[in-house]
Amino acid sequence: MSILAGCGECKLAESGWIGTRLLGPIPGRSIRLVTHPRIADEPPAADRAPAPRPSSPRLGVPWERIVLALTLAGLAAGGGAWLAGAATLAAAAWVAAIVVALVPLTVAIARALARGETGVDIIALLALAGALALGEYLAGAVIAVMFASGTALEHYASARARRELSALLDRAPRVVHRYEGTGLTSPPLEDVRPRDRLLVKAGEVVPVDGVLSDEHAVLDESVLTGETRLAERTSGERVRSGAVNAGGPFAMFATTTAAGSTYAGIIRLVREAQTSKAPFVRLADRYALVFLPLTLAIAGAAWLASGDPVRALAVLVVATPCPLILAAPIAIIAGISRAAQRGIVMKGGAVLEALSRSRVLLFDKTGTLTMGRPFVTEVLAPGGPGPDGPYGPDEIVRLAASLDQVSTHVLAAAIVQAARERGRPLVMPAGVTEESGRGVRGRVDGHAVAVGRADWAAGDGELPEWARKLRRRTAFEGAINVFVAVDGTLAGALILEDPVRPDTARTIRALRAAGIRRVVMVTGDHVDVAETVGAAVGVDAVLAERSPADKVEAVRGERAWGSTIMVGDGVNDAPALAAADVGVAMGARGSTASSEAADVVLVVDRLDRLAEALRLARRARGIALQSVVAGIGLSLAVMVLAAFGWVPPAAGALIQEAIDVAVILNALRALGGYGAAAPARGPEAALSQRFRSEHGELLPVVNRVRAVADRLDPAAPQAALADVRDIYRFLVEDLLPHEAEEERSFYPLIAKTLGGDDPTGTMVRGHVEIAHLVRVLGRLLEDLPPEGPGADDLPELRRVLYGLYAILRLHFAQEEEAYLSLFDVPPASAPA
């Protein structure tokens, strides 16, 4: 197959031409990419979550409800007896309520002490025991109810915060139907193997990753991506496990096992997130322990100063560190849960906190800043059908695609897709051989066809001038060239591009607004290619021609600027993802290695979710800190009041419960959205998708404008005249009506969304300039003689064509970034 001019080692790694191997040298260690790449022998970063340890003693889920019910019953029965004048019976009921809460709490604390842990629930134990000892039975019963209700509230809030994470686990695929012979079976999910033909019935979850074999399927992928719109798939397209069949039954071919599927990977990440504990929460545990001696000191001082032990009891009642032991973990897990709802899976609280503190961002290029899906933009057939050669552009594409049907190279699918969209019938090749790093050979319709590098495809022959010029041009522009030889002679070439994501520049600006101070692009591509992309998206530094080992060193070097985030999607990115403080994988299409090495996986293939993840992380940590500061401040204030005798024990229990409820409800605010664009509804979504699709159809022809300008030759005036007329026809019949319809139907919706005075004025001005150049081109065509342009006509034609190409590319890019992305529509793949 072909080689990208200036292509780095990463392209070969991602294409499958090099397999699992040692990536080195990295000083002091070697890395092997298998299923879970990590930097060997490297100690975990300080802010990575350690192995989970048993939490502070709390009542189990069944006991919470039982204890709450019994303590409420005891408090109510005692109150009824007291009102009836049965003081002894009332005291007995309140004592029973105290004992119901005291016994399980004592057992839980004893078990914690046996493990060498000192829980802050000792304060609650002392308060209950003190009330019992001092005869403050009513106060003790109130404390018992408050403790039991606080425990139940904690469980509810934690479950509410984990709702989206739990939903991901609950929707794990469990049913599979496999075709075996002429029948249909339902084997265990783990028995599914690649190439098995499966049936997915209406309403069922897609069990494994695969390829659709039926003509059409409608899927609900909201659990994977956070997008509420249904996704339509056609034959040959990929379907991911975890999606729900929202249409009729369809058949598919499995491409992975259940364990290797998309959803299985997400579940592994979710389980890791649920078992990890954030550094902030662990710090809260340590700070909470300070409350024990502080509380005892204040309670002892109040007793000594007043001689009244009830004051000491009142201090114990209100001295709960619940804002620390409840609010902090709830806010953190709520932030993780909210991120999961938006297609952002974090591996735990440690990751969320590290993300919130990060200041340096490193990006890989291919598949991260770019779409990662090359498409054919131009086909060159220098000889063309006629006296100089038998093969035109369509035939060149057909021959290359017929051969590429059996190739596994990353570019083969794009070439086959280009042939299908041109309506060219493909035939099966014979005698196919593929050489890594060079290309593929075989016979198509009796002809010896070679597709790949120019010097390899041409054999021993000298490269023609057009081939040398094409290689120089693609090397400078960062495009990909694929040469096609027929019967030993270069007959043509295909140019492919991997476009920058439309939302990349906007996402980088959003990341800077969220606190990122430095943005670096690190890639294996050549300097010219990397600097072109870096300048287009607005990074601070470009590190080009970097091997996987070099990327690790780049991550370490950037730590001088602050905590680092590394974003990538390929196998070659996995070591750098593991080395960064936070590794982010574009998991929608990225390799298993990069997803497992990362701390955050963007399940939906949208880079703008990275900025959203950063905002969510900072908001969740800010809410946790806010809850802790406010809650502890209130508790300290009430403790002082209780020490002076102004707050009796029963009232203190009620105040303490109110503080707990307030900080927990505040912590649950982390479940709310922040900075997330609301999914488009109605006409906005439909029009945005329509015009984005039209851009994809128009862009390849726009690229032909430059190609025609390049090919203008006074030696072939008739061919030049035909090419320019063809371009003019496209501009008048297709492009200008598209621009007019945008201005008529889509721009008013944009103006309504953005507000202000004439927010679409710059885009309208672009339409005016485009129309002006089209008119100029039309006048030039009218003035040309029938035999075609002469040498004096060519400079003006080139000037207008190059001007049209430049302004059209800029205008399309501006619309993609500024307008079409407003309505949260995922970018469509650019067609061939």
Active site members: 364
- 487 φ, ψ (degrees, to nearest 5): 55, 40
Distance of CA 119 to the CA centre of its chain: 38
Distance of CA 318 to the CA centre of its chain: 44
DSSP string of 314-375, one letter each residue: HHHHH---HIIIIIHHHHHHHHHHHHHHTTEEES-HHHHHHHHH--EEEE-IIIIIB-S--E
C-beta of residue 392 within 8 angstroms of C-beta of residue 385: yes
Task: Measure Cα distances from 395 to 200, 401, 452, 485, 655 in Å.
Answer: 39, 10, 17, 12, 82
Q: How far apart are the first and last CA of the chain?
A: 18
Which residues, 6 or more positions from 825, have their beta carbon under 8 angstroms from its beta carbon? 680, 685, 688, 689, 692
- The Cα 428–Cα 89 span in angstroms is 93
C-beta of residue 633 within 8 angstroms of C-beta of residue 378: no
β-sheet bridge partners, residue 151: none
C-beta of residue 109 within 8 angstroms of C-beta of residue 121: yes
Kind and range of the H or E run holding 199:
strand 197-200
- The order of strands in the sheet holding 582-585 is 344-346, 600-602, 582-585, 564-568, 360-363, 518-522, 541-543
- 357 φ, ψ (degrees, to nearest 5): -95, -5
Angle ∠(467,472,476) on CA atoms, nearest 5: 145
The number of residues making up the chain comes to 832
Kind and range of the H or E run holding 733:
none
- The Cα 316–Cα 295 span in angstroms is 7
Tokens of 439: 């290309």
Side chain identity at residue 577, one-letter code: L
Residue linked to tokens 């001689």: 307
- The Cα 142–Cα 137 span in angstroms is 9
